[in-house]
């Protein structure tokens, strides 16, 4: 079997590692060390230990570079990185004769950076995809091995789109890695005639709804921020997280909430949002009809 080294720490990484273990020989796993305050094992560490795979840990690029100076990898010509969260420097990349492949969840050069999935939904685009890329010392600027498109429907949330992209990425790795190792793929540059865009890590502040925005933009944010950071506001004097909403052709003062045909409606800068599901602080998720029955609008 083809021997590879896997780099990964985040929630996407364990799923990818499972796929690699079923299709390749994983010589070692490189991941972040588990913080002392975490009681449960990180999924990547747990899976690697269950499978009795050599584990190497590095918290930052300096530690990673130091880790690879004594050449701890003996058999693998190729590395694969997914959701590691640590910059991999050129000296580490050069430890692998065939380089390190990254599975990036966008159609590069679109949405380089830390959170391409969320920004694909926020931007309202109709398609995204997976780019298999040979990393270099720059941010997501490496040569491509393969790109595959995936449609974004108007109801997809970030967790749902993530699941679809993970499945697509796993299948691409199974198909492309052996072909690349066999020398039957010529890496090619990204198409720089297309717009170059950058994503970033979200903060808690991103989740605060600005009702002066259009209903279309806020609805995208609600779908994009499901899970983290959540789209939050105050309605009827209550802190709430809005889980699901749809656009309606009503107009009024931005931020004002009304009950229209037993449906909670909040006016936006342009049109309005009818709230389908929301979660008051300290309460369970509920329908807008249940919310209106329990809370009085001012």
Domain termination residue (choose one: 128, 148, 181): 181
Confidence (pTM): 0.93
CATH of the domain at 271: 3.10.25.10
In a domain, residue 272? The reply is yes
Q: What is the pLDDT of residues 224-238, one digit of tens each?
A: 999 899 999 999 999
Q: What is the pLDDT of residues 63-120, one digit of tens each?
A: 999 999 998 998 999 999 999 989 999 999 999 999 999 999 999 999 999 999 999 9
In a domain, residue 12? The reply is yes
Domain tally, the chain: 2
CATH of the domain at 62: 3.40.50.170
The answer, yes or no, to whether the previous bond of 76 is cis (omega within 30 of 0) is no
Nearest to 30 by CA among 55, 63, 11, 48: 55
Same domain, 26 and 96: yes
Domain termination residue (choose one: 181, 212, 232): 181
Q: What is the pLDDT of residues 123-165, one digit of tens each?
A: 999 999 999 999 999 999 999 999 999 999 999 999 999 999 9
Same domain, 169 and 115: yes
Q: How many CB atoms lie within 10 A of CB 55?
A: 14
In a domain, residue 190? The reply is no
Same domain, 42 and 175: yes
Q: Where are the alpha helices (DSSP H) in 104-212?
A: 116-122, 158-181
- What span, in angstroms and rounded, lies between the C-alpha atoms of 185 and 191? 17
Looking at residues 168-191, what average pLDDT do you find?
96
Q: Mean pLDDT across the chain, nearest whole number?
A: 95
Same domain, 152 and 226: no
Q: What is the pLDDT of residues 271-281, one digit of tens each?
A: 999 999 999 99
Residues spanned by the domain of 37: 3-181
Q: What is the pLDDT of residues 19-39, one digit of tens each?
A: 999 999 999 999 999 887 877
Looking at residues 255-269, what average pLDDT do you find?
96
Bridge partners of residue 100, in order along the sequence: 79
- What span, in angstroms and rounded, lies between the C-alpha atoms of 105 and 112? 9
Is the pLDDT at 1 greater than 70? The verdict is no
Is the pLDDT at 214 greater than 70? The verdict is yes
Q: Where are the alpha helices (DSSP H) in 69-214?
A: 90-93, 116-122, 158-181
pLDDT band at 58 (very low <50, low <70, confident <90, very high): very high
List of long-range contacts for 279-285, beta carbons under 8 Å, 24+ apart: 279/240, 279/241, 279/243, 280/238, 280/239, 280/240, 281/238, 281/239, 281/240, 285/243
> In the Cβ-directed half-sphere of 264, how many Cα atoms lie within 13 Å?
25
pLDDT band at 41 (very low <50, low <70, confident <90, very high): confident
Same domain, 15 and 139: yes
Q: Region of 62 please: left (phi>0), alpha (psi -120 to 50) or beta.
A: alpha
Q: Residues with Cβ < 8 Å from 145, sequence gap 6 or more?
A: 101, 132, 133, 134, 176, 180, 185, 187
pLDDT band at 2 (very low <50, low <70, confident <90, very high): confident
Tokens of 58: 């590095």
């Amino acid at each position: 079997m083809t021997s590879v080294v896997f780099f990964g720490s985040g929630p996407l990484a364990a799923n990818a590692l499972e796929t690699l273990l079923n299709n390749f020989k994983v010589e070692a796993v490189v991941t972040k060390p588990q913080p002392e305050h975490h009681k449960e094992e990180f999924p990547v560490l747990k899976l690697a230990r269950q499978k009795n795979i050599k584990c190497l840990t590095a918290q930052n690029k300096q530690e990673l570079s130091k880790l690879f100076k004594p050449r701890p990898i003996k058999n693998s010509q190729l590395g694969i990185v997914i959701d590691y969260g640590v910059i991999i420097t050129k000296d580490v990349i050069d430890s692998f004769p065939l380089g390190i492949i990254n599975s990036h969840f966008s159609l590069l050069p679109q949405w380089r950076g830390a959170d391409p999935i969320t920004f694909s939904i926020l931007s309202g685009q109709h398609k995204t995809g997976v780019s298999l890329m040979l990393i270099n010392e720059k941010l997501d600027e490496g040569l491509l091995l393969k790109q595959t498109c995936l449609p974004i429907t108007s109801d997809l949330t970030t967790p749902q789109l993530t699941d679809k992209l993970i499945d697509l990425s796993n299948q691409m790795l199974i198909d492309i890695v052996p072909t690349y190792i066999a020398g039957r793929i010529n890496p090619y540059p990204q198409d720089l005639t297309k717009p170059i865009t950058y994503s970033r890590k979200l903060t808690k502040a991103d989740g605060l709804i600005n009702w002066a925005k259009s209903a279309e933009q806020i609805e995208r944010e609600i779908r994009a921020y499901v899970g983290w950071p959540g789209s939050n506001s105050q309605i009827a004097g209550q802190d709430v997280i809005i889980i699901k909403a749809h656009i309606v052709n009503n107009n009024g003062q931005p931020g004002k909430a009304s009950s229209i045909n037993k449906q909670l409606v909040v006016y936006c800068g342009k049109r309005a949002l009818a709230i389908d599901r929301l979660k008051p602080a300290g309460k369970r998720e509920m329908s807008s009809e249940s919310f209106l029955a329990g809370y009085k609008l001012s």
